[in-house]
Structures are given as structure tokens and as C-alpha cells.
Amino acid sequence: ESPVLSARGLEVDFRVRGGRRARAVDGVNLDLAPGEILALAGESGCGKTTLARTLLGLVRPSAGTVEYAGAPLPTNSAGLKAYRRSVQLVLQDPTGALNPRHTVYEAVAEGLRIHGITDNERERVARALSHCGLRPAERFFLAYPHELSGGQRQRVVIAGALVLEPKVIIADEPVASLDASVRGEILALLLRLREEFGLAALVVTHDLGLAWSIADRLAVMYLGRIVESGPTEQVLTAPQHPYTRALVSVLPDSPVGAPLVLTGEPPDVTQIPVGCRFHPRCHALASGAAEAAGVAMHCRRAPLPVLGAEPDRHSVACHLHAASSSASGAA
Ligand code: SF4
């Protein structure tokens, strides 16, 4: 099936203090199929939020393309506005997604008004709220955000996206601030919306547990690059990249064994190391495993190729992984 949203060779540069440039997204290829849920995971500063904003047309890439339904993203503001009806952003409420002075009705109707949709407003708002589990919807119309629970507020935020009948939602840490019990409910809601409306979702998260519960596929980002991607179950039960292995190793019942502690500085796009950009923190390099496989020099010097968008493949950008897969392929 053709992807509903795709990116090829995406690069996003920023100017940072001192007039230098930093590359927050560096050669990203990805495809999102209709009805698919893709989790984009990594630590803060890895570029995942910048990538999400670029896919939404909120940030202009320095290079590469984004396509929606096979056509490049419009560059004029009217075209972008129409695009953003089909591809909706869902933020977590504590980041100010809801205006405290607006009622639930106003919050959900706002998108309709922005997009000039004037027919059946009341019915559309009621339908979106009840699809998001706020029933009877009319009971919530006049409520203000402070009168609702955290989970209800997040449902209002999602209803505000759903009311525009999008094809894709891009959810940035949609449950990060919620209690564990409510998180499960919101994730179940996203899954139900996918079933009912065929909605595709890109879920940006630092939480691999969330990816496990919701995503068909997982892409792990480190310093602007996707370093490992594939079907979620494959990536999380048999992580190959040392960075993914470290992230997985601290999950309950991890298949990796003892927790692998990430040492060294966290990602900083203004200082991207040469060679493999993860090498200063890589336990496979520090432990001598890369040396034993004869790739330690490559780790420190040779850049890695960018991963292609191959949705069904488990892909890994790591010299050690490449060496061990070719060794096992040759055996
Ligand atoms: Fe570690 Fe080398 Fe793989 Fe980078 S390429 S993740 S340094 S083993």
C-alpha cells in the first residue's frame, strides 16, 4: 500500500549561538502507511520533535522532501493550511494545548472555525467528543479545562484533532504527563481511532514501553539519525544497535540482560562526533566487542550510511552489526 506520509533525505539545519549551524535532522527516510502506528523514539535532543514538526510543515527542511498521499507538501500558506487539516498535531495538555479560558466546546470547535467548516458544527463537536469517550458529549460542552481530569483533558485535545477528520495524527509525547492507569486508556483510545477511522499515527516518545503497547513499527533516533527501525516486536525483543540495546536494557523483563548504562554526554547537535555519532557512549566499543570484530577504527572514523525507508525490514546503522551480519551470512 502506498504510504500516506513519507520523507526522503530529510535534513533540518538550525543556526545556533555564535552563528554556527547545527543539524537537528540528518538524512531521515521514513514511510507511514494508512492506518499504521509508527513510534519515533529517542532521548530529548535527538531530533524527534524537530522531525515531527517538519513532517507537519511547521519547519522547512534544509534538504529532502516530505510527501502526503504521493504529492510534495505545499509551500504556500493556503496549501499548508489544507494539508494540516489532514495531518493533525496532538500535543500533551500540560504544554498548553488547551486554553484555560476556552470551554471544551470552543476548544474542539476551534479547528473547524480555522478551516472555515461551518455546517453542523454542534454535531461535529459532539461526535468528536463522544468518539473520544466523553459521553454524553453535551455534558462537557461548557466545562473548562480545570474542571476536568488529566485524562479527560487529553481526550479533549484528541477530539480537537479528530473533529477535522484527519488521515494522520502526529502525537508528541501524548501521555507523558498522565498517571499510569490513564495512560493505558488514552493509548487504547488511539488504537480504537485507528480501527474505526483508519487513522495513521506517528507517536513521538522517549518511552519504549509506550511504543511496545501501541506501535506497529518503531524507529529509534540518535542525534538526528534513525539508527534502528523495524516492526516494534522485532526491535524490542531483539534490539541490535547498541543504543537501542541500552534503552531496552532498562525496561522491565528486558531481553538484553543487565542494564547497560549510557555513559558520556547526552546528544548535542552542535557537537556531532565523527565516525559513528554514538561512539563516545557506545558500550560495544568500550567493552572491546567492536575491537574484537575489527570495526573499532570504523566506529571512530567512518560515517554510517543513512537507513532507507524499508517498512518491513529490521534495519540497523552500526558497523559492528554490519560486520556480524556479514560474518553470519558468510558462515
Ligand atoms: Fe557502537 Fe561502533 Fe555500532 Fe557505533 S558503529 S553503535 S560505535 S559498535
Complex ipTM: 1.00
Please tell me the predicted confidence (pLDDT) of residue 253.
Answer: 87
Q: Answer yes or no: is the C-beta of 279 below 6 A from any ligand 1 atom.
A: yes
Residue 233 alpha carbon to ligand 1 centre in Å: 22
Q: Answer yes or no: is the C-beta of 278 below 6 A from any ligand 1 atom.
A: yes
Maximum alpha-carbon separation in the chain = 68
Residue 324 alpha carbon to ligand 1 centre in Å: 12
User: pLDDT tens across 154-196, in order?
Assistant: 999 999 999 999 999 999 988 888 888 899 999 999 999 999 9
Distance in angstroms (rounded) separating the CA atoms of residues 203 and 48: 10
- Label residue 203 exposed, middle or buried (CB < 10 Å: 0-12, 13-18, 19+): buried
Pocket test for ligand 1, best of 276, 298, 301, 304 (most atoms within 8 A of CB): 276
Q: Are 239 and 256 in contact (CB under 8 A)?
A: yes
Residue minimizing CA distance to atom 8 of ligand 1: 320
Residue minimizing CA distance to atom 1 of ligand 1: 282
User: pLDDT tens across 277-294, in order?
Assistant: 999 999 999 999 999 999
Q: Are 158 and 89 in contact (CB under 8 A)?
A: no
Q: Answer yes or no: is the C-beta of 285 below 6 A from any ligand 1 atom.
A: yes
Is the pLDDT at 93 greater than 80? The verdict is no
Q: Answer yes or no: is the C-beta of 73 below 6 A from any ligand 1 atom.
A: no
Q: Are 280 and 286 in contact (CB under 8 A)?
A: no
22-26, 41-45, 108-112, 244-248: segment of lowest average pLDDT: 41-45
Whose CA is closest to 262, among 46, 74, 76? 46
Q: Answer yes or no: is the C-beta of 223 below 6 A from any ligand 1 atom.
A: no
Share of the chain above pLDDT 70, in %: 99
Residue minimizing CA distance to atom 3 of ligand 1: 318
pTM listed for this prediction? 0.95
Please tell me the predicted confidence (pLDDT) of residue 20.
Answer: 83
User: pLDDT tens across 210-261, in order?
Assistant: 999 999 999 999 999 999 999 999 999 999 999 999 999 999 889 998 899 8
Is the pLDDT at 91 greater than 70? The verdict is yes
Please tell me the predicted confidence (pLDDT) of residue 329.
Answer: 66
Distance in angstroms (rounded) separating the CA atoms of residues 5 and 258: 38
Would you call 242 helix, strand, or coil by DSSP?
Answer: helix
Distance in angstroms (rounded) separating the CA atoms of residues 279 and 281: 5
